Amino acid sequence: YLFGGSAPGGLNYNDLWVLKKQAAGDRCADGKPMVWEAVELEGDVPEQRCGHAAAVYDGVLYIQGGNVQNQTFGCTYCVPLGGGGGSGPRVFQKIEVLEGSQEPAPRIGHAMVALARKLLVYGGRDIHSRQYRPLIDVCHLGSCSTAPPG
C-alpha cells in the first residue's frame, strides 16, 4: 500500500494505492505481473501530506504525522484494508486521543512500527526545525474498527 506523498511543484496527495498481482501488466523481480490500483476512500480521510509514517497491524493501515507546506501534523488515522482486496471503499477514521493522554508531537521524517497491539513512533522533527530529535511515543491500538460500515 502507498498513501499520500508529494510531487514537484508543491503538489501533495491523500490517495491510497495498492500493488496487486494481475493476469497481465508490469512484472516484479520474481516475474509475476503486478499493477497499481487506486483504492476508493470514504470517512475521515487524512489531509494531503508527505513525510508521514505508516504501519499495518492486523489488517489495518495506520498513518501518523507528516506535513503539508508549513504545517506539521501529530494526528493518527487508521483504515481497515479488508481481506483479499475486496471491492468497495475503505473507510478512514481519525484516532481520537483518550482523556488524560495526548497525541504524539507533530513530526516528519520519523519511523513507526506496529508491535503487540501498539504503535511505536520514533524520531522525526517539526517542519521548521532542521534538527531531528529522539522522540518516542507509544499508541495503544484497539480504537479503529475493522467492521464494515453500516
CA distance 74 to 67: 9
How many CA within 13 A on the CB side of residue 101? 10
What would the pLDDT profile of 78-126 be if each residue is shown by its tens digit? 999 875 455 678 999 998 877 777 788 899 999 999 988 888 899 998 8
Is 125 inside a domain boundary?
yes
- Mean pLDDT rounded to a whole number for the chain: 84
pLDDT of residue 147: 39
Q: Which whole number is the average pLDDT over 60-74?
A: 92
CA distance 132 to 105: 13
Of 28-37, 80-89, 127-136, give the lowest mean pLDDT range. 80-89
Is 118 inside a domain boundary?
yes
**In which band, very low, low, confident or very high, does the pLDDT at 23 lie, cut at 50, 70 and 90?**
low
pLDDT of residue 146: 39
CA distance 126 to 3: 20
Determine the structural domain holding residue 48 and report its residue range.
Answer: 41-140
Is 24 inside a domain boundary?
no
Q: Which residues contact 86 (CB under 8 A, 6 or more apart)?
A: none
**In which band, very low, low, confident or very high, does the pLDDT at 134 lie, cut at 50, 70 and 90?**
confident
**pLDDT over threshold 70, residue 130:** yes
Is 9 inside a domain boundary?
no
Contact 13, 31 (CB under 8 A): no
Helix H or strand E segment including 72: strand 71-72
pLDDT of residue 47: 95
Q: Which whole number is the average pLDDT over 42-54?
A: 95
Is 7 inside a domain boundary?
no
Is 112 inside a domain boundary?
yes
Is 127 inside a domain boundary?
yes
Cα–Cα distances in angstroms (integers) from residue 7 to residues 4, 13, 29, 30, 51, in the given order: 10, 8, 26, 29, 12
* 102 vs 2, more confident: 2
For the chain, the domain total comes to 1
Specify the 3-state DSSP secondary structure of 32.
coil
DSSP string of 86-130, one letter each residue:
-SS-EEEEEPPPPTT--PPPP-BS-EEEEETTEEEEE--B-TT--
Show the cell assigned to 147.
467492521
pLDDT of residue 100: 76
pLDDT of residue 24: 58
**pLDDT over threshold 90, residue 61:** yes
Is 67 inside a domain boundary?
yes
